[in-house]
Structure 1
């Protein structure tokens, strides 16, 4: 049973959502590719949250 619950742990996912919006750690190495990847991830997270909000509002007002 414990192995099944390990598949549904989403704590690291939420930790990444918070980490991607923080300023980068100056002690970690950075590159242009990594900064672009985080930028694209920020855009996609914001678009997803906007779509969820719009869908919720449309669903509740019907």
Structure 2
């Protein structure tokens, strides 16, 4: 079994990292990152709902 299969550190770091002042940003990049974070959050909420329904039946 692969050692890093369930390593969620990079995914959680994506949510909680600070802005890099040396990196130039624009509207498109900020929008892309917002949509990525929103879609991951919606997926996690949906996964929690599915698991809740699975274990409460």
Q: TM range, normalised to the smaller chain?
A: 0.7 to 0.9
1:45 corresponds to: 40
| SS of residue in 1 equivalent to 2:37 | helix
CA distance in 2, matches of 1:27, 1:10: 31
The size of the alignment, in residue pairs, is 55
Superposition RMSD in Å: 2.2
Higher helix share: 1
**Runs (5+) with no aligned partner, structure 1:** none
CA pair 16-58 structure 1, distance change in 2 beyond 3 A? closer
Structure 1's consecutive aligned runs of 4 or more residues displaced over 4 angstroms after TM superposition are none
- Normalising by the residue count of structure 1, what TM-score does the alignment of the two structures yield? 0.68
